[in-house]
Structure 1
Amino acid sequence: MKIKYYIVAFASLLLTSCSDFLDLTPISEASSANYYKNTSDINSALSACYGSLQGTYQYGEYFISLMELRSDNVEDINPGGAAGMFYFIDNFTATSGNNVVRYAWKELYNQIYRCNNVLASIDVVTDAALKKQYEGEAMFLRALAYFNIVRLWGAAPLILKPVTAIEAKGYGRSSVADVYRAIEEDLEAASGMLTSAYDDDNLGRATSVAAKALLAKAYLTQQKWSAAATLLDNIVKDYSSKYGLQNTVADVFDVNQEMNKEILFAVRYSKSVLGEGHGYNDYFKDKSVIDSKLLASYGNEDDRKAMIEYKKVDANNNVIAKYYDTFDATTAKVGFDLPLLRWADVLLMCAEAHNEVAYESSESSKALSYLNLVRKRANAVEYKVTDLKDQSAFRKAVLEERRLEFPFELHRWFDLIRTDTAIEAMSKVGFTITKNDYLYPIPKTEVDLIDNPETFPQNPGYN
């Protein structure tokens, strides 16, 4: 059976012991690091770490709002839905009391809490190879959580070990630089501990290539262009025998061949197992939410346009082709995975990094070659060097290519932020924003609980 992040019964102890990052609920001895006694316990705890990704408060629903709905790709057309909490995120009026913001924060720190417990108890694993693997997986998942935290909120509490409730209250917001340093250290370590691929029974676990690709994205986000270019070149060189572009974009999202050679890491689901499937998120199934300018950006020959057109599932459901799946007769759920890292992302990051290091006016430049590999697979017209005459033009082309390649894959908002193009992009769809809107408010519950503006301030522009 392929790994699908099944959350075992004892994982509820972890949820109740740290339901909010700083809610100061007493941490029971049973749920702390000393609970884990053997390899099976650690494997189960690690499954709970993966399980955090599936839920409503992360990639199951709320991240779609925070990372995709916020962007110029999608709009919320239901102001009254869920008491407006998604609509307020879409139109930049979300406050520190918004429950999407609050519970996303909560679940990310829950994930970190779980990972910290695994890492603190890793010595109970007696098999050296398995211990190394589990440690690398926990580091990868902790780094992923912190990467999302720092991009959503900026400076944040940096907790790298199990802590008590009283200890938790003493953590202030660490600097963005310190959080990124911890992310890099985790991913550098994980990339050396993990294997590059697994057998069918373990598909879905973090790999060395996923760790390196996420590290490259962290470099890119910090504008560490040379480090990103070097790492991405090595990924292409070292892993192209195992990973690469699928023949067509449709093949990437074929639910009958998930975890194919293009998928480096995905949030996995199984519609046939009770509790492991999911429904269709509104932003995948409502025809009116896709921005018309996005649809108009595709050339007529571009295969990717069809991937965000709608297919009928049944009498009550249409869904974008990218995430088409039929409902299981028993569970009444669908089970398509949500890819977080794929080979096309590696190629476009590599193109971007090389262009930022030094624009090269050559048809054989690495940057142009990587960009055109993605366009060629989509049957889009390939660029000539004369089409992209300088670094600025190339930069804009890569950003646009990412928009065409990854809609509804939760990249767009972060791409706009890290390239400092969000203000311009959102103005084109009717929103006037400032750089304060690049971050979300720290949940009011956390700010009020700590009650120390020096160590735990609210983000600028929010109360």
Structure 2
Amino acid sequence: MKISSFSRTAALGLFLTLGLSACEKQLDLDPRQSVDAATALDSPEKVQSALVGAYARLGTGNLYGTNFTLLPELLASDNYVLWQGTFTSYRDVFRRQLTNNNTEATRTWQLAYQTINFTNLILEALPVVTDADDKAQYEGEARFIRGALFFELVRLYGLPYQAGLANPGVPLALTANKTEEQASQQIARATVGEVYTQVLADLRAAEQLLPEENPRGNGRVNKFSAKAMLARVYLQQGNYAQARNLANQVIEDGANVGLDLTPSVTAPFRVRNSSESLFEIQQNDQYNAGTANDGLTTFFAPSNKGRGDVAVLDPFLALFEPNDLRGPDAGLLFTEDTGGRAGRIRTTKWNEFGQNLPIIRLAEMYLTRAEANFELGSAVGATPLVDINTIRERANATPLTTVTLNDILLERQLELAFEGVRIHDIKRRQRTTGTLAWNSPRLVFPIPLYELNLNKALVQNPGY
């Protein structure tokens, strides 16, 4: 029987990889321990271990460990970054010359759906969890992960939300694959609108189910993680009222549990699980996305530490004021490469292989609230000017006396550089990168050829 690769890789063949039942740390998974998926999750401990497995996969280079951050930056590289590396898969993304067998497009798609199947298995197994609080938490975490993955996938493999809700999105795999028969089912692409509806349903459920502080500790999402991701989704849609309200809730209510901007611009990247962190990938020197051919430090850090594959270009560096602590003159988040690729400027946001990887920061919520308030002519929580100056003052940048939309969008570029938001901002604001319009098919990833060959229900994106 021919099995759709999209379903088969999601199902892990017919096996579900589990960690030890007592496992509490994100990366404490032994990939050699596998049991049949149909009978795997028959105890609360095994459900918990499967959830840990889902988190572990989020931190791989296929997903948040590299590609969900690096790929959006390379797609919008004009006057921003230069790819100097030898990996042709990333070079083709940088040049916007992808083919339908691009390695990055393929591996990101496949592990995303594999992880989505993990969440579906967890959700179907929830009746074995007898503790009501644990059950709600596990469901909330599983739905957060699934919703976040569908969101990342539809933004990479589908045209922007603003280009039309009827455009092809990505398949919505919402039931678990446990058997060969289930894995052989071929699922067509849902529309962009349908995918966003599912993303919001998952994240809204997560928001309701998750506690304000996750008792399982760092690296596990909580209610504020869900609110922050929802704010990001609504901003991508241009739903400014919802984005504003959720960002404001994160800022104001989060203060009650210790959420606060860090005093320095470097702390979010140097201090694990800082007061600014809303969700971050947990890493250490032994377990991380990669130290040779994967991982953000591998590609972004100077060549005397990583590969030095991503150079920062002068037009972007010139956007920082000389006194801005985030800029090149301060030497805190930028450095000149002195290794084998000397002379280029590199970011040092990603500078240690074992550092944690912030995925959502509180600073983003201030920027979201500022933009949404500006668009709505409102001042919920604070005026746009106050919010922008809150971010600028931490960086020692000159406070603004008035604020425009361009000021707000520039501040997003400066504050969130190299964090995976650049192409998504260009698309939602309907701007250009180089000569390419926001809705150019060249800014959309191909559906992997291998998937198309096995799943005849899939249709390819234009240009591939």
TM-score of the pair, normalised by structure 2: 0.82
Q: Is residue 2:91 matched to residue 1:87?
A: yes
1:174 corresponds, among 190, 203, 224, to 190
Structure 1 runs, 4 residues or longer, greater than 4 Å off: 1-4, 10-13, 164-168, 311-319, 431-434
* Match for residue 384 of structure 2 among 367, 370, 373: 367
Whether the 8 Å CA contact 1:371–1:398 is kept in 2: the answer is yes
Q: Per the alignment, do residues 281 and 367 of structure 1 end up closer, same or farther by CA in structure 2, a change over 3 Å counting?
A: same
What are the within-5 Å matches in structure 2 for residues 152-191 of structure 1?
152-154=156-158, 155-163=169-177, 164-167=179-182, 169-191=185-207
Cα displacement string for residues 154-182 of structure 1 (whole angstroms, at most 9, x for unaligned residues): 20100111135544533110111111111
Residue from 27, 30, 34 that aligns with 2:36: 30
Instruction: Identify which of 58, 66, 78 aligns with 1:53.
Output: 58
User: Residues of 1 paired with 2:24 and 2:247: CA distance?
Assistant: 27
Q: Which AA in structure 1 matches 2:44?
A: T
Return the match for 1:405 from 372, 390, 415: 415
Displacement of 1:270 after TM fit?
Answer: 1.3
Structure-2 residue corresponding to 1:331: none
Letter paired with 1:54: G
Q: Which amino acid aligns with 1:415?
A: D
Deviations for 1:257-315, whole angstroms, at most 9, x for unmatched residues?
310110100111011xx444642322333286112111111001101113431278999
State the match for 1:346 in structure 2.
Answer: 365
Structure 2: how far apart are the matches of 1:405 and 1:50? 26
Structure 2 SS opposite 1:60:
coil
| Aligned partners of 1:311 and 1:324 also within 8 Å | no
Q: Which amino acid aligns with 2:370?
A: A
Count of aligned pairs:
413
State the partner residue of 2:321: 299
Q: CA deviation at 1:92?
A: 0.5
Of the structure 1 ranges 279-288 and 38-47, higher mean CA displacement relative to structure 2 is found in 279-288
| C-alpha distance in 2 between matches for 1:210 and 1:11 | 31
**1:378 Cα shift?**
0.9
Q: Is 2:273 the counterpart of 1:259?
A: yes
Match of 1:139 in 2: 143
Instruction: Assess, with a 3 A threshold, how the Cα gap between structure 1 residues 223 and 319 changes in structure 2: closer, same or farther.
Output: closer
The 5 A counterparts of 1:188-227 are 188-198=204-214, 202-227=217-242
| Correspondence for 2:29 | 8
Distance in 2 (alpha carbons) for counterparts of 1:2 and 1:244: 30
Q: Is the 8 A contact 2:231 2:246 kept in 1?
A: yes
Cα pair distance change 1:276/1:151, threshold 3 Å:
same
Mapped to 2, the partners of 1:397 and 1:433 lie a distance apart of 20
For residue 398 of structure 2, what is the aligned residue in structure 1?
381
Q: Distance in 1 between matches of 2:104 and 2:126?
A: 33
| Unmatched tracts of structure 2, length 5 or more | 1-21, 159-168, 292-296, 303-307
- Quickly say closer, same or farther: Cα 1:184–1:287, change in 2 above 3 A: closer
Q: Measured at CA, do residues 284 and 71 of structure 1 come closer, stay the same or move farther in structure 2, by a change above 3 Å?
A: farther
User: In the TM superposition, what is the alpha-carbon distance from 1:198 to its structure 2 partner?
Assistant: 3.9
From 117, 133, 139, the equivalent of 1:113 is: 117
Long gaps (5+) in structure 1: 14-28, 326-333, 389-393
| Cα distance in 1, alignment partners of residues 417 and 23 from structure 2 | 27
| CA distance, structure 2, for counterparts of residue 433 and residue 230 of structure 1 | 27
- Deviation string, structure 1 residues 320-374 (Cα, Å, up to 9, x no partner): 432333xxxxxxxx311111101000110111111122378x9x96222211111
**Corresponding residue for 1:250?**
266
Go from structure 1 to structure 2 and tell me whether the alpha carbon gap of 1:336 and 1:166 turns closer, same or farther (over 3 Å shift): same
Contact 1:4 1:270 (C-alpha < 8 Å) held by counterparts: no
Partner of residue 11, structure 2: none
In structure 2, distance between residues paired with 1:351 and 1:295 = 24
Q: What is the TM-score when the length of structure 1 is the normalising length?
A: 0.82
Report the CA distance shift for 1:57/1:125 in structure 2 as closer, same or farther (over 3 A): same
For the aligned residues, what is the CA RMSD? Answer: 2.8
Question: Equivalent of 1:76, from 83, 96, 104?
Answer: 83
In 2, are the aligned partners of 1:153 and 1:439 still within 8 Å (CA)? yes
Matched to 1:300, the amino acid is P
Which one-letter code corresponds to 1:409 in the other structure?
A: E
